Amino acid sequence: MTSFLKNDCFLRALLRQPVDKTPVWMMRQAGRYLPEYRATRAKAGDFMTLCKTPELACEVTLQPLDRYPLDAAILFSDILTIPDAMGLGLYFSEGEGPVFNHPLRNHAAIEALGIPDPHQDLRYVIDAVALIRQELNGRVPLIGFSGSPWTLATYMVEGGSTKTFRYIKGLLFDQPHSLHLLLNKLAQSVILYLNAQIAAGAQAVMIFDTWGGVLTTRDYEAFSLQYMQQIVTGLQREHNGQRIPIILFTKGGNEWLEQIAATGCDAVGLDWQLPIGHARQRIGQQVALQGNMDPCVLYASPARIREEVADILASYGNGTGHIFNLGHGIHPQINTENVSAFIQAVNELSPAYHIA
């Protein structure tokens, strides 16, 4: 299927084709837990310069692959590139995370938003994808990504991170028509953005719905899932004769696995709060499953990490369709040796589940 790749295990598992072992990668695998990342980040001067300089984004994307035997690379970028391109004035405040100078607080501001052209307004991302793909030289597949419309809207309306969801939920309940207008613009933007990443060389794409789990079932279906469905429908599913798998990940979305799988995505990402075997019983005949070790297990000893990997592999059981990952992004304080123990455990223990 993917003869140009030296290692296509990740793509094969996404499409539920036979593999020799369970592929493994980590959300935020290129990040602050790596000393080499911190050195490159210091060289860049600030986070947005790191994101907007294709050569530096390429450098940090490859760093975890040079250190660990991972089965996929993921583009180094940020989910908030689209809102930034829409003119909201994104910056990163030390200790506070992302902040927007111009949060969206009324219908007129939402109506005035344009749809970014990825080849102009987000050219640095597309150039980074092309450069990373070139530098990988077929080593492993490259994952492109975007935030979900609901998650992007949450940051754009709140003006940054939040624990109360005061403004976004106020908009949802009081002015749903305004929120739907925003979400529709974001869905169109994500379709253009991810299709441009695919054209530039992304071999799979992932949509991160970080805040979907804060919604009720009714509101999740209306304000998050239907827009991810719109994106799945609008994405290019084949490029250069190869299938482009789509992974949807809603943190806190375990109640809605059936609805997520029904969008037509190829894989559903799981957080750590549901045994993966239960998820397989529910939707494993429709889609591949990605996950789902609690990231905090990586604070434990290598022996305990290996036990947890063994438990998750046993929960999933025999056969393909599992991509081993954490249930959310790796934490910055994790010891790099513990990551090595984690990946080694997956690579050593998983082949037993793939014997024909």
Binding site for substrate, residues?
A: 28-32, 78, 155, 210, 328
Which of these, 19, 137, 17, 118, lies nearest to 73 by C-alpha position?
137
Q: How far apart are CA 148 and CA 252, in angstroms?
A: 14
β-bridge partners, 98: 92
The number of C-alpha atoms within 13 Å of 237 and in the hemisphere containing its C-beta is 10
Q: What angle do CA 204, 253, 304 make, to 5 degrees?
A: 80
Catalytic-residue membership of 282: no
Catalytic-residue membership of 28: yes
Catalytic-residue membership of 78: yes
- Summarize the annotated binding site as residue ranges: 28-32, 78, 155, 210, 328
Contacts of 100 (CB under 8 A, 6+ apart): 83, 88, 89, 90, 155, 156, 159, 160
Tokens 């001067």 locate to: 45
Catalytic residue among 12, 16, 41, 306: 41
Q: How far is Cα of residue 180 from the mean position of the Cα atoms in its chain?
A: 23
Burial class (CB in 10 A: 0-12, 13-18, 19+), 315: middle
Q: How far apart are CA 2 and CA 237, in angstroms?
A: 15
Catalytic-residue membership of 32: yes
Alpha-carbon radius of gyration of the chain:
19
- What is the greatest pairwise CA distance in the chain? 60
Are 200 and 142 in contact by the 8 Å Cβ rule? The answer is: no
Catalytic residue among 8, 71, 78, 121: 78
Catalytic residue among 33, 68, 155, 316: 155
Catalytic residue among 8, 12, 16, 28: 28
Catalytic-residue membership of 218: no
Are 328 and 272 in contact by the 8 Å Cβ rule? The answer is: yes
Tokens 């910055």 locate to: 332
| CA distances from residue 247 to 93, 180, 252 in whole angstroms, order as listed | 30, 23, 16
Active site residues: 28, 32, 41, 78, 155
